[in-house]
């Protein structure tokens, strides 16, 4: 077992915080282990004008990191689970899902305290079709426009007046010490999170038994079960960032409660479903809820989104 590990990470301040968090945890768990960060520029970080759906999907944030793992420049990569595609390339493994931060969405504005206060035609910024659909379902008089860039860039666009408000993940703001920017937190019922939101995932090569052993203590059983159920819904429906899909699981004793939705981007059509199942088999629960979504019209919504 080597006494030095390199973590591949995106260059954004939030990504560096997340990788630094994993670095600190690893070094505290393993005496004598030295962990370093390898910042990598990803295609998703460079394409700031197009939406993720237009640019090519969430894989744009991980391909360069997986290349660094494949050629040995990095031993592991730290991802926001909501940005990690549901299907990993052959030879790669999700070695651990860490304890989850607050998974909810945050309303951020300099003038208004919540979405309900926004006047008609107010411009709301979000990078997520999932958030867009749920906002427009409840507030069809608002205007939702794309918001790309890292967290600091998005806040700067709000502060210079490009938007009346923006919607971000509570977790990212909290991790960077910006919780004070949150004017209100959107309840789960009003804004169902993305699959895996607020959880961190550690990816490595499946053949790296040494790395897998090092990161195993970082895995959180509850977060892992919940995120696996959420990702199973996404996978069953062919999920990618072009689909406005939300999925959120909660642990209840030995079982999980899973809620999910699929929506048209304009919020006019939304299929919702939920279910409960054994925490020991989260993928089965995710598949079952995905099937219920289909019975509620998810396939028709998805077909209308196809080019």
Catalytic residue numbers read 83
- Residues 165, 143 contacting (CB under 8 angstroms): no
Using the CB atoms, write b or e for 215-230: b if 16+ within 10 Å.
Answer: beebebeebbbbbbbb
Rounded Cα–Cα distance for residues 267 and 139 (Å): 9
Among residues 270, 228, 234, which one has the least CA distance to residue 249?
Answer: 228
- Residues 190, 248 contacting (CB under 8 angstroms): no
Q: Is the dihedral of CA 52, 58, 62, 64 positive or negative?
A: negative
- Residues 29, 5 contacting (CB under 8 angstroms): no
SS percent in the chain: helix, strand, coil, step 5: 40, 25, 35
Beta strand 76-80 with 4-10 is parallel
Among residues 148, 155, 158, which one has the least CA distance to residue 54?
Answer: 148
Hey, what are 160's tokens?
Answer: 């210079």
Write out the E strands in 26-169. 34-40, 76-80, 92-97, 105-108, 123-126, 143-146, 165-169
Residue 250 parent element (H or E): strand 245-252
Rounded Cα–Cα distance for residues 68 and 81 (Å): 19
């Amino acid at each position: 077992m080597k006494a030095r590990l390199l973590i591949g990470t995106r260059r954004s301040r939030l990504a560096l915080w997340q990788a630094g968090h994993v670095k600190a945890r690893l070094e505290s768990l393993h005496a004598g282990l030295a962990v370093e960060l390898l910042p990598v520029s990803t295609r998703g970080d460079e394409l700031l004008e197009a939406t993720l759906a237009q640019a090519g999907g969430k894989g744009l944030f991980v391909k360069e990191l997986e290349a660094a793992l494949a050629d040995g420049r990095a031993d592991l990569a730290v991802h926001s689970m909501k940005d990690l595609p549901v299907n990993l390339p052959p030879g790669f493994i999700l070695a651990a899902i860490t304890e989850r931060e607050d998974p909810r969405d945050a309303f951020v504005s300099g003038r208004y305290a919540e979405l309900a206060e926004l006047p008609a035609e107010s411009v709301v910024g979000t990078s997520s079709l999932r958030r867009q659909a749920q906002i427009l379902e409840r507030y069809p008089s608002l205007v939702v426009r794309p918001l790309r860039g890292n967290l600091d860039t998005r806040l700067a666009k709000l502060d210079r007046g490009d938007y009346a408000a923006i919607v971000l993940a509570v977790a990212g703001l909290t991790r960077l010490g910006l919780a004070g920017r949150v004017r209100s937190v959107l309840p789960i019922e009003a804004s169902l999170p993305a699959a895996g939101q607020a959880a961190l995932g550690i990816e490595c090569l499946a053949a790296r038994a040494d790395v897998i052993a090092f990161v195993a203590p970082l895995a959180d059983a509850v977060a892992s079960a919940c995120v696996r159920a959420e990702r199973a819904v996404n996978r069953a429906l062919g999920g990618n960032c072009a689909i406005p899909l939300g999925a959120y699981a909660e642990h209840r004793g030995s079982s999980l409660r899973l809620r999910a939705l699929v929506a048209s981007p304009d919020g006019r059509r939304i299929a919702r479903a939920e279910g409960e199942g054994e925490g020991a088999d989260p993928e089965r629960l995710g598949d079952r809820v995905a099937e219920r979504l289909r019975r509620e019209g998810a396939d028709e919504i998805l077909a209308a989104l196809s080019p």
